A and B are shown apart, each in its own frame.
Chain A
Amino acid sequence: MKYLPLLFSALMRKKMRTLLTLLSVAAAFALFGMLDAVRVAFSAPQSVIGIDRLITSSRLSLIQPLPYADLARITSTPGVKAVTYASWFGGIYQDPKNFFPNFPVEPESYLDMYPELVLPDAQRQAFIKTRTGAVVGQSLADLFGWKVGDKIPLRPTIYPHRDGGDVWTFDLVGIFKAAQPELRGSEKQMLFNHTYFDEGREIGQGTVGWYVVRVEDPARADQVAQAIDDQFDNSAFETRTQSEREFQLSFAKQIGDIGLIVTAIMAAVFFTLVLLTGNTMAQSIRERIPELAVLKTLGFTNRAVLVLVLSEALAMLLIGGLLGLALADLALPIIGEASSGQLDVALQPESWTLGLGLMLIIGTLVGLPPALKAMRLRIVDALAGR
């Protein structure tokens, strides 16, 4: 602690250089923060609940629906506690740019299956009872300024309404919130009544998109999944049952090689960053060799000099890095807004931890060589400028 003023004056010695180095570190970590948020969003969809949930969909491809009649057979499979279902609607609100997921669901069992979607009791009852009722997440409601009682028209891309209209109209009867802040992504969806959907559509009646299954014992989830699939083996509608996490990951994987490219960019950025900071540190120490020699003459131990130089590098990385991550944290919601929700990712605690680790590692990497050099300085040579 007593070295703190010394560290501070070292950083303030060349204010311009320190500022520029800090800013370049901040720029790199701001970039790291944003890219890592994207990476996390792609590699680990935000559903930490639901380890006991399975998704049963068509084995052939996700666009193939399953017959409604499968519900009874899945429900009676041993180990299954509850079953619900949903379909993909793909409706558009006003403009294709406003894309958000909207699904017809069976209200009561779906809300039971997803306890993380929290809805006031009265609204929940209204959703169950209203044929044309729909519920949306809080962030979606905020985005479009919807409130309970509004009528929401959606233009169907797949299912025209049977009455010939190009619009399905829903009554907003409830707004749900995610139970935990990290599940905020689930507030971006709209749910409505499957019965209303099935009656209104021209094609595909009596089918559902996928079933959601809750198992009694998460440890036996694999066996239950196998048992469900075995029942429909060699039928006209073969199924594939997988955990909810796997199911969501399969969507992320479809987006393809983005993860690889993001990693490559991060590597390029960090290579550049290490080089920049390392070089500046080395240069700044070189210029201060006489000063360090004076410190040693005054009685500073070798170890103290090493710690001093190393902590200078670490301080630089930590201040700049945290500044950069904070910037990324501030910028991400703005980007999400600007892209009308298409790039809506948030900085997760995971990224902060990883970023902090990188700051420490890079700080040590760039600080250690000059620190070791400073430690090994011989006073006489240094003072003589040799």
Chain B
Amino acid sequence: MTQRSSAALKSALPMIAASLAVAAFVGGWILTPRLVGGLGALFLGWLLLTRTGRQALAVARVGLSTVPERLGATSVVVVGIAGVVGVLVALQAMAAGFEATLTGAGNDETALVLRAAANAELSSALDRPSTTLVAQAPGIARDADGQPVASAEVVVVASVPKQSTGTDANLEVRGVGHAAWDLRPQVRIIAGRRFRPGLRELIVGQGALRQFSGLDIGDSLVLNNQAWQIVGVFASGDTHESEVWGDAESIAGAYRRNGFQSVAVRLTSPAALETLRSALSADPRLRVEVQTTREYYGKQSERLTRVIRAVGIGVAVLMALGAVFGALNTMYAAVASRAREIATLRALGFTGLPVVVAVMLETMTLAAAGGLLGAGIAWALFHGFTVSTLGSNFSQVVFQFQVTPELLIRGLQWALGIGFIGGIFPALRAASLPVTTALRES
């Protein structure tokens, strides 16, 4: 009885050590990938240059060469991990794409003036005198004619059928002033021409063009019961591509409005923001807030990207748990089926270390294959995949999934982390099984 309990204790010790190793590994993996990389290089040197290292390599080669015979079992590891990595990369790519699309529209040289307490352009309202006052404030750059580079803009939402579903979705319609082109030099016409002020003409962003029906050049769009002609298509590489642009005065007229939603201005320099802010807050006739477009668009993307990121990680953690259990199962079975072979090696004089390393190498190879497969599938399926969702202006924001190299590397990190946890316990078991028992096992 005492013998058994001391044996149990002995076999528990490596388990505790392994748990600590797992914690240290995962912690190090997340905090300092570079450190882990350095250790990896050291490890590689050990493998190739020392006697025990070469022994480990030889044992691992034998193990890996039997993989084709155990295709069913090993595919559990590979496919399980590929699933985790695929889901993780795809969801993070969605968040990254949304964030990039919105923040791409912001910078430190331009600022946006909204009514105090408005949390988006759509909920803001500025009357005509206010917009004139804002445009004359100090800190705003002037063009060659001495006119302030400021565009008082109208933002409204129109119901237009979406191409994919045929059901109505909200399209953002932005009425801009003549300074809008100077303010947003990234916006360029790729087909047709600019709208002419005073006429019922619109240009459409290429994202909106792809997502909504009936926005081709020559089509007419009904806004508040009036037909507007589409005369051009523009590209900007940011969230403006989800919009339709027209002349601010004409659009305000069509919606029977005598006010605007926002004033976008170009600052003389990023530092001029404070000048502008204090001038506007000192004016008792105004109740407005000013922020750089970088701040504004950063805030607009923050909430949704945070939700998508959190959901993505939550889903991946749960799936990773499943994959770890699967990997543990597979590797325990692999070790059990090779117990005799491993015991023979140890009877021949191989120490425990090469055996542990060999099992770990096998698992990590399978995990890396799974990670590459998952990341590859996510990249092939989702890179550049265009979707749209509801943005803060209560209208559709069109964006593309962005599978960045960092995301692929992070996916691979997860794969190797899962492989490590799934391999270490079976590896230690292989090394700690009493030789005599293992030799008797069938």
Interface, chain A (partner B; CB < 8 A): 16-17, 20-21, 23-24, 27-28, 30-31, 34-35, 59-64, 90, 92, 96, 155-158, 160, 164, 166, 203, 236, 238, 250, 253-258, 261, 264-265, 268-269, 271-273, 275-276, 279-280, 282-283, 335, 339, 342-343
Contact = CB atoms under 8 A, between A and B. Distances in A.
A166 B117 contact: yes
Contact of A250 (B157, B168, B332, B388): B168
B389 A276 contact: no
Nearest to B299: A96
Interface in B324-346: 325-326, 328-330, 332-333
A273 B73 contact: no
A272 B79 contact: yes
20 contacts: A16-B332, A21-B325, A24-B322, A31-B315, A60-B158, A64-B255, A158-B123, A160-B287, A166-B116, A203-B125, A238-B225, A254-B389, A256-B396, A268-B87, A269-B319, A269-B322, A275-B76, A276-B326, A276-B329, A339-B307
Interface size class of B (residues with CB under 8 A): 35 or more
A99 to B, nearest CB: 9
Interface of B: 72-73, 75-76, 79-80, 83, 86-87, 90-91, 94, 115-120, 122-123, 125, 156-159, 165, 167-170, 223-225, 255, 287, 307, 310-311, 314-315, 318-319, 321-323, 325-326, 328-330, 332-333, 387-390, 394, 396
A158 B118 contact: yes
Contacts of B80: 272, 275-276
B389 A257 contact: yes
B332 A17 contact: yes
Q: Which 10 A-B pairs have the closest CB atoms?
A: A27-B322, A24-B325, A256-B389, A272-B83, A257-B387, A157-B123, A24-B322, A20-B325, A276-B326, A27-B321
A17 B83 contact: no
A62 B394 contact: yes
Contact of A27 (B318, B330, B333): B318
Contact of B156 (A63, A92, A236, A280): A63
A257 B388 contact: yes
B86 A268 contact: yes
B119 A253 contact: no
A259 B332 CA distance: 38
A261 B170 contact: no
Nearest to A270: B83
A35 B316 CA distance: 12
B75, B117, B158: residue with the most chain A Cβ atoms closer than 10 Å: B117
Nearest to B387: A257
A30 B318 contact: yes
B224 A60 contact: yes
Contacts of B394: 62-63
Given A157-B123, A282-B72, A255 B321 contact: no
A276 B329 CA distance: 9
A272 B322 contact: yes
Contacts of B223: 60
A258 B91 CA distance: 11
Given A256-B387, A256-B388, A272-B319, A160 B117 contact: yes
A27 B325 contact: yes
B169 A253 contact: yes
Contacts of A256: 169, 387-390, 396
A339 B125 CA distance: 30
Contacts of B157: 61-63
A258 B329 CA distance: 34
B79 A254 contact: no
B389 A255 contact: yes
B388 A60 contact: no
Nearest to A328: B318
B315 A265 contact: yes
A60, A92, A250, A276: residue with the most chain B Cβ atoms closer than 10 Å: A276
A276 B315 CA distance: 18
A63 B122 contact: yes
A342 B302 CA distance: 14
A31 B170 CA distance: 32
A305 to B, nearest CB: 22
Contacts of A253: 165, 167, 169
Given A60-B225, A283-B333, A254 B318 contact: no
Contacts of A250: 167-168
A258 B287 CA distance: 38
Contacts of A62: 157, 159, 170, 394
Given A17-B329, A158-B123, A254-B396, A276 B225 contact: no
B156 A61 contact: yes
Contacts of A335: 314
Given A20-B328, A24-B326, A280-B329, A92 B119 contact: yes
A139 to B, nearest CB: 20
B162 to A, nearest CB: 8
A349 B110 CA distance: 52
Contacts of A282: 72
Given A31-B315, A256-B396, A273 B117 contact: no
Given A160-B115, A269-B87, A279-B72, 19 more contacts: A20-B325, A24-B325, A28-B319, A28-B322, A31-B318, A31-B319, A63-B156, A64-B224, A96-B119, A203-B125, A238-B225, A254-B390, A256-B390, A257-B389, A269-B319, A272-B326, A279-B330, A282-B72, A283-B73
Nearest to A258: B389
Contacts of B310: 339
A339 to B, nearest CB: 7
A261 to B, nearest CB: 7
Nearest to B389: A256
B103 to A, nearest CB: 18
Contact of A155 (B86, B117, B315, B333): B117
Nearest to A385: B442
Contacts of B315: 31, 35, 265
A7 B388 CA distance: 51
Contact of A255 (B117, B255, B333, B390): B390
Nearest to A249: B167
A203 B118 CA distance: 14
A92 B419 CA distance: 47
A125 B139 CA distance: 55
Nearest to B224: A60
Nearest to A22: B325
Contacts of B396: 254, 256
Given A27-B319, A90-B123, A96-B119, A254 B170 contact: yes
A34 B319 CA distance: 12
A61 B319 contact: no
A30 B29 CA distance: 27
A245 B95 CA distance: 30
A59 B72 contact: no
Contact of B73 (A61, A92, A279): A279
